[in-house]
């Protein structure tokens, strides 16, 4: 059933909690029927979103939570990651491919998210923090969850 491909998690702002989310995410992606390669890249993209939420959004304040929602909407896998920070303007980021930025140690996370997902958008969540929405088009059997036995 489509509901099998939906979860909500709220975790404290600690980097080790990224691994907890990954366990649940991996299980869900496998049940959807996503191939190993695609699972890996979605995994990396979500890692980047979580790391940004913990580090830049919630400033590693363990009292603040990161909310993760996953759902299959039509033919898209949709993952939303929301922090409890003060908001963020992604247009202020530099181009990591620009020669002057190539050897910078940071500034590649959102670029990787854009590379590995079909679409990402930034906005404000209900609590005023930053919410990034990551979309991946599904192909194969997972596009019709009702046909997939579980």
Partner 1 sequence: MDVSKRQVGDVTILDLKGKITIGSGDVQLRNAVQEVMNSGATKVLINMAGVSTIDSSGIGELVSAYTTATNRGARLKLVNLPAKVTDILTITQLITVFDVYDSEDAGIKSFG
Residues in contact with partner 1 by CB under 8 A are 14-16, 18, 40, 43-44, 47-48, 51, 55, 96-97, 102-106, 108-109, 111-112, 115
How many residues make up the chain in this entry?
150
With residue 37 as reference, give the H or E element that holds it: helix 36-52
Could you tell me which residues come within 8 angstroms of residue 129 by beta carbon, excluding any fewer than 6 positions away? 57, 58, 82, 83, 84, 85, 86, 87
The distance of closest approach from Cβ of residue 136 to partner 1 in the complex, given in angstroms and rounded to an integer, is 16
Q: Is the CB of 28 or the CB of 45 nearer to partner 1?
A: 45
Q: Is the CB of 48 or the CB of 82 nearer to partner 1?
A: 48
The distance of closest approach from Cβ of residue 38 to partner 1 in the complex, given in angstroms and rounded to an integer, is 12
Burial class (CB in 10 A: 0-12, 13-18, 19+), 94: exposed
Q: Is the CB of 18 or the CB of 66 nearer to partner 1?
A: 18
The distance of closest approach from Cβ of residue 91 to partner 1 in the complex, given in angstroms and rounded to an integer, is 19
């Amino acid at each position: 059933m489509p509901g099998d491909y939906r979860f909500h998690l709220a975790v404290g702002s600690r980097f080790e909690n990224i691994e907890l989310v990954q366990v649940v995410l991996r299980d869900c992606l496998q049940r959807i029927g996503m191939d190993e390669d695609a699972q890996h890249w979605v995994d990396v993209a979500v890692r980047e979103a979580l790391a940004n939420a913990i580090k830049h959004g919630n400033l590693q304040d363990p009292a603040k939570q990161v909310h993760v929602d996953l759902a299959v909407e039509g033919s898209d896998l949709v993952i939303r990651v929301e922090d409890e920070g003060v908001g963020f303007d992604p247009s202020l980021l530099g181009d990591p491919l620009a020669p002057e930025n190539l050897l910078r140690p940071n500034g590649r996370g959102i670029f990787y998210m854009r590379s590995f997902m079909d679409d990402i958008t930034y906005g404000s969540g209900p609590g005023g923090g930053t919410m990034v929405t990551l979309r991946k088009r599904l192909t194969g059997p997972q596009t019709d969850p009702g046909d997939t036995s579980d």
